[in-house]
Structure 1
Amino acid sequence: MRILGISALYHDSAAALIEDGRIVAAAQEERFTRKKHDARFPENAVRYCLAEAGCALGDIDYVVFYDKPFLKFERLLETYMSFAPKGFTSFKTAIPVWLKEKLFQKDMLRRDFQKFDPDFDWMNKFLFAEHHLSHAASAFFPSPFEDAAVLTMDGVGEWTTTSLAFGSGNRLEIHKELHFPHSLGLLYSAFTYYTGFKVNSGEYKVMGLAPYGEPKYTQLILDKVIDVKDDGSFWLDQSYFDYCTGLTMTNDKFAGLFGQKVRQADKDPLTQFHMDIAASVQAVTEHVVLKLARAIRKDTGAKNLCLAGGVALNCVANGKVLREGIFDNIWIQPAAGDAGGALGAALAGYHIHKGQPRTVTGGGKDAMKGSYLGPVFEQADIEARLTAAGAKFTVLSDDQLIEQTAQALADEKAVGWMQGRMEFGPRALGGRSILGDPRSPTMQKVLNLKVKYRESFRPFAPSVLREDVADWFELDGDSPYMLLVAPVAEKHRRAMTQEEQALFGIDKLNVPRSSLPAITHVDYSARIQTVHADTNPRYHALISAFKGKTGCPVVVNTSFNVRGEPIVCSPEDAFRCFMGSEIEVLTVGNCFLRKEDQDPALKLDYKNAFELD
C-alpha cells in the first residue's frame, strides 16, 4: 500500500511517500523552487517522491492532506466574531482569499494533481488529517518506541496549539489539547517579531541570541503576559497581542510593558536589551516545556516521550528536558515543523485510517533513515551537471576524497559537502553541509560573515562521532538530528579571565570558551549532531579521517546555503553557492573542486541575492 502525504498552502510545503509503512521519500518544495519556506502546492516534491518510489499517481492508494481547512476557517470566523468590531482591516484582507481559494482546497489540490493523473479517484482516495494529529503521527510512528507519550507544540493548527497524545503499537489517540489563541509557539513568534526578526523564520535567531543576554524580564512575562499552571497548561493575556485580529504580532501595550518599541531590523541595531528579551522568552519557554513534561510523566506514567511541532525545534528546551531525566527516552521528529506534517499525514492514513500494523525498528533505531530522504545524484549525472555549469573538478576515489577533504578541513578551509541523499527537515546533517575546523578561533566569524553572510552572533553546530560524544560533551546518547543542546565537557572548556567575564552581549563572541571555539556558544553549550556509521558512512569516514589527522572527532557543520536561501539540492545549486560565497573547497559525490581552479567569470554575488530570513 502506497500513501502520499502533503503539506501545503501555509508555509514549508512538502510531500512524503510511504510504502507498506516504510518511509520511501520526503522533501520540501523550497529545495526545488529555491524559494525559502515555499508554501505553494509541492509539485516538484510530489514528482520526486513518485520517481523515488518508481510509481505514478495512479499507483497511489491514498493522498492525505496534513490539516482540515474547514476547521481552520471556523477558527478564523469565530476569532473575528469574538473580537469584532476590532480587526476589520485584517478580516477584509483574509476573508476574500478564503472565499476564493482556501475553502475550496480540495478542488484546488485536485486540479494541481490532475497534472499527474486526470483520472485519479479523488472521491475515494483523498483524505484530510487534523494538523496536530499529523504532527503526533510524524513523531510517534517513526520513533523507536512500542509506546510513548507524544507532545506536540506549535503556533496553531486548526484550533489546537499544544496536544498530548498517547501511542501504542499502531494506535495513536490525542487525549488533551490547548486551543488558540493560547500558544507557546505564537508567544515565541511575538518576541521574534518584537526583536526585529521574521516570524516563522527567525525564531531560531532568538534562541541563538538568548545566551548573550540575562533573563531579566522572565518574571515580568510570567506575571503579566502568560499564566502558567502546575500542569504546564497556560493562558496568554490577549491585550498584549495583535495576532488574533491585526496584521502584526504585538501591540503598543506589549512595547510599553518592556519600555521599547519594536526593533526595525534594517534600522535599529541589536542591543543588550534585545539579548535580555531573547534570554527571557527562552527561559519562559523552557519553564513551560519542563512543566508540561513533568505533568505528562506524572499523569501517564510513560517512560518514553516523542516531540513534534515547531516548538520541538527549540533544541535548548529539548536538552533541558533530557538532562532533567523526566523520561527514560526522548525522540524528536527531525522535520518537526509543518513540512513534517506531510510525513505524519501519510503515516496517519496508513496506521490510523487503514489500521495497518506497525513494525518498530530494532536496536533502538528509528525509521527515519537518518532523515536522508531526499534526492540523490549518481556520479555520472553529477559530472555532467557540473561540466554543463562550467565547473573545473577532479574525480577522486572514495579514499582520496576522504583524505583530501579531511586535509582541507585540517588546513582550516571552508568545505561545501554534498553527498548522498538530501536531508528532510530544516537541519543539514552531513548530506548538504558546509564544514569547518572547530578548533579554529576564527572559523565561527568567517563562516557567518564571509560564507553564510549572516549575523555574527549565530552559533554553529558540531558533528561528532557517536562513539566519541561523551568524551567531548555532557551527553552520552544519540542526537542524530541536531535537536539537543548540551554543554561542552568540563575538561575541554577554557576558564575566562575577570576582564572577559565582565563583557556584555556580542563582546563575548570573540572570547574562546573551549578547545573547540567555533562550536562552543557563550554559555559553553553546543547543538550536537552525533554521526553514525550505519546511517551516513561517508560522513562518518570523513570525521574519522579528520580525527586521525588532528585528534579531534568533531567538525563544524552548518547548512549548505547562504542567508535567505534554501539548503542546496542539486549539483548546480551547490556549485552556484560555492561560486557565490567564500567556500574554498567543494565536494559533490566524488568530484573535488578548488575555488582557485574555477573560472573567475563564474563568480556570483550571493551576499545580496536573497531576502533576509
Structure 2
Amino acid sequence: MNILGISGYYHDSAACLVQDGRIVAAGQEERWTRVKHDHEFPTNAARYCLEQGGITAADLDVVAFYDKPLSKFDRLLETYLAFAPAGLRSFTMAMPLWLRQKLWLPDVIQKELDYDGKIIFPEHHQSHAASAFFPSPFQRAAFLTLDGVGEWTTTSWGVGDGNQIKIKAEIRFPHSLGLLYSAFTYFTGFKVNSGEYKIMGLAPYGEPKYVDVILDKLIDLKDDGSYKLDMRYFNYCQGLTMTNDRFAKLFGGPPRKPESPLTQREMDLAASVQKVTEEVVMRTARHIHAQTGEKNLCLAGGVALNCVANGKLLREGPFEEIWIQPAAGDAGGALGAALFAWHQYLGKPRRATGRDEAQAGSYLGPEFGEAEIERFLIDGGIPFQRLGWEELPRRVARLIADEKVVGWFEGRMEFGPRALGGRSILGDARSPNIQSVMNLKIKYRESFRPFAPSVLAERAADYFDLERPSPYMLLVAGVRRELQRPMTDEQKRLFGIEKLHVVRSTIPAVTHVDYSARIQTVHQETNPLYHALLRAMEELTGCATLVNTSFNVRGEPIVCTPGDAYACFMRTEMDYLALGPFLLEKTNQPAWREDEDWRTRFELD
C-alpha cells in the first residue's frame, strides 16, 4: 500500500511517501523551489516522493494532510471576532488565501496530484505525535508535542502504544510556548518561524536577568508545566506583530530593528526566555512521567528543535530515554500524517525493537549517481578531479586539516532542518579561526552563531559529556572538562560578543561560549562515507570530530541538486567541493557570472 503525507500552507511544506509501512522518501518543498520555508503546496516534493517509490498518483491508496483546515479556520474566525475591530487588517490579509485555497484543500490536492482517491485529515498535533512515536525505537512511550499552534492545540501529551497514539491533555491557543519564544524572536529583531534558533545560539552570551519578569508578567506557569500567557502584552491575535507597546515598556524600549547591532539587552532577553522554556519543558516532562509511568519519551513540534532544552531533559529529566523527530516542525507533519494513516487509520501493526528506529538517519531526499554528476560537470565545462570512493575521504581529510573549507555533497539529502553529512559544509574543529571564516565568508550570517560538531559515534564520549547517540544534532552537551581551556581573569571580564574569540577547548570551532556543543554522532550503518571521512580525519590528526554546517548561505535553503551545490560553492569563499567522487578546486574554476538562468544552465535534466 502507498500513502502520501502532505504538509503545507503555513511554513515548511513537505511530502512523505510510506510504502507498506516503510518511510521511502521525504522532502521539503523549499529544496526544489529555493524559497526558504516555502509554504505553497509541495508539488515538487510530492513528485519526487512518487518517483522514488516508482509509482504514480494513481497508485496511492491514501493521501493524508497534516491538519484539519476547517478547524483552523474556525480558530481564526473566533480569534478575529474576539478582538474585533482590532484584527481587521490581519483578517483582510488572511482571508483571500483561505477563500482561494485553504478551504478547498480536497479539491486542491486532487488537482495538484491528479488524484481522486481517499484523503484524510489528522489533527495537527496528532500528526506531530505520530511523527514522534511511530518512527521511534519504542513499542510503548509517552509523547510531548510543543509548537506555535495547530488548529487550536499548542501543547499536547499522551501515550503511544504499538500502532496507536492517544492524546491525554492539551493546552490551547492563544496560550503557546512556541509563540512566547517567537515573541522574543520578533522583539530581538529576528524573523519569526526561522530565527528562533538564533535566540538559542545567542542565549549563552547573556544573563537570564529577565526570568522573573517573564514569569511574573507574561506566563503563569504551574508546577505541572501547564501555563497561560497574559495576552495584554502580545499582539499576534489581532495584529501583524508579535508584541505590543506594553511588552516594549516591560523590557525597556522598542523591539530591535532587524540587522541593527545587537546589544546586551537582546542577549539577556535570549538567555531569559531560553531558561523559561527549559523550565516549562522540565515541569511538563516530570508531570507526564508521573501521570503515565512511562520510561521513554518522544518529542515533536517546533519547540522540540530546541536542542539545549532537549539536552537538559535527557540529563536531568525523569525519562530513561528520549527520541526526537529530526524534522520536528511542520515539515515532519507530512511524515507523521502518512504514518498516522498507515498505523492508526488503516490499523496496520507496528513492532518496534527498542533499538532500531524507522527513520534511517533521515536520509530520505534525492540522491544523484556518479554518471549523473559527471554529465553535469562535463556539460557545464566545470574542471574537476575524479577520485575513487576510498581516496575521497583521505583527500578531503587532508584539505580540512590544512584549514580548507570543503562543501560535501554526497548520498541522499537530509529530511529536516539539519545537515547531517549529506549536504554539509565542513571545517577543522581544532582551528580557532574557522568559525569566523565560515560565518562571515561562507555562510554570510551573524558572527555569534555557533557551529555543530560531527563526531564518530564510537568516540563521542571522548569529546563530550554525552552517553547516548545524537544522530540528528538535536542534543546539546558539554565539552569534556579535560579538553577545556579555563578562562583567564581578564577573559572572564568580557561581555557579550567579546566572548566569541576566546579559545575554550582543544576543539574551539565547535565549543560554544558556555563550553557546550550541539552534537551529531555519525554512525557507520546510516552514513558509511561520512563515517569514513571522520575516521580518516582521526587517523591523520588524532581528532575524530569536524565542523559541520548546512550547505547553504543565509536566507537560502540547503542545496538539493549538483547545480545548487556548484552555485553555492562559486558564490562563497569555499575552497573545495566534493561532489560525489569528484573534487572541485575553487582556484581552477572559471569566473562565476550571476546570470538569471544559472539554475537552468547547471541543472540536471
Give the TM-score, by structure 1 length: 0.96
Structure-2 separation of matches of 1:346 and 1:78: 30
Structure-2 separation of matches of 1:586 and 1:82: 55
Structure-1 separation of matches of 2:62 and 2:574: 44
Structure-2 separation of matches of 1:352 and 1:394: 51
Q: 1:121 aligns with which of 97, 116, 124?
A: 116
- 2:557 maps to 566
State the one-letter code of the partner of 1:202. G
User: Where does 1:309-388 land on structure 2 (aligned, <5 Å)?
Assistant: 309-360=301-352, 362=353, 364-388=355-379
Question: Does the Cα contact within 8 Å between 2:138 and 2:354 map onto a contact in 1?
Answer: no
User: Where does 1:141-290 land on structure 2 (aligned, <5 Å)?
Assistant: 141-266=134-259, 268-290=260-282
State the one-letter code of the partner of 1:53. G
Structure-2 separation of matches of 1:108 and 1:575: 35
State the one-letter code of the partner of 2:7. S
Structure-1 separation of matches of 2:441 and 2:187: 28
Question: Does the Cα contact within 8 Å between 1:576 and 1:604 map onto a contact in 2?
Answer: no
Question: Does the Cα contact within 8 Å between 2:282 and 2:317 map onto a contact in 1?
Answer: no
SS of the residue corresponding to residue 35 of structure 1 reads coil
State the one-letter code of the partner of 1:68. K
SS of the residue corresponding to residue 204 of structure 1 reads helix
Q: What are the ranges of 5 or more consecutive residues in structure 2 without an aligned counterpart?
A: 597-605
Q: What are the ranges of 5 or more consecutive residues in structure 1 without an aligned counterpart?
A: 115-119, 606-613
Question: Does the Cα contact within 8 Å between 1:210 and 1:279 map onto a contact in 2?
Answer: yes
**Which piece of structure 1 moves more, 105-114 or 365-374?**
105-114
SS of the residue corresponding to residue 25 of structure 1 reads strand
- 1:104 maps to 104
Question: Does the Cα contact within 8 Å between 1:466 and 1:478 map onto a contact in 2?
Answer: yes
- 2:128 maps to 135
User: How far is 1:399 from its partner?
Assistant: 1.5
SS of the residue corresponding to residue 38 of structure 2 reads coil
State the one-letter code of the partner of 1:303. K
- 2:26 maps to 26
SS of the residue corresponding to residue 510 of structure 2 reads coil
- 2:577 maps to 586
- 1:66 maps to 66
Post-superposition CA distance 1:533-556 (Å, at most 9, x none): 000000000000000011000000
- 1:307 maps to 299
- 2:464 maps to 473
User: How far is 1:99 from its partner?
Assistant: 2.5
- 1:609 maps to none
SS of the residue corresponding to residue 380 of structure 1 reads helix
Decide whether aligned partners of structure 1 residues 601 and 99 sit closer, same or farther in structure 2, where only a CA change above 3 A counts. Answer: closer
- 2:502 maps to 511
State the one-letter code of the partner of 2:345. H
- 2:382 maps to 391
User: How far is 1:9 from its partner?
Assistant: 1.0
Q: How many residues end up aligned between the 2 structures?
A: 596
User: How far is 1:602 from its partner?
Assistant: 4.8
Q: 1:461 aligned to 2:461?
A: no
SS of the residue corresponding to residue 509 of structure 2 reads coil
Structure-2 separation of matches of 1:601 and 1:221: 50
Q: 1:485 aligns with which of 476, 480, 483?
A: 476
- 1:439 maps to 430
User: How far is 1:363 from its partner?
Assistant: 6.2
Structure-2 separation of matches of 1:463 and 1:288: 29
Structure-1 separation of matches of 2:224 and 2:189: 32
SS of the residue corresponding to residue 424 of structure 2 reads strand
- 1:296 maps to 288
Structure-2 separation of matches of 1:108 and 1:171: 29
Structure-1 separation of matches of 2:70 and 2:515: 47
State the one-letter code of the partner of 2:131. S
Structure-2 separation of matches of 1:409 and 1:13: 35
Post-superposition CA distance 1:258-286 (Å, at most 9, x none): 111011113x3101110000000001100
SS of the residue corresponding to residue 390 of structure 2 reads helix
- 2:38 maps to 38
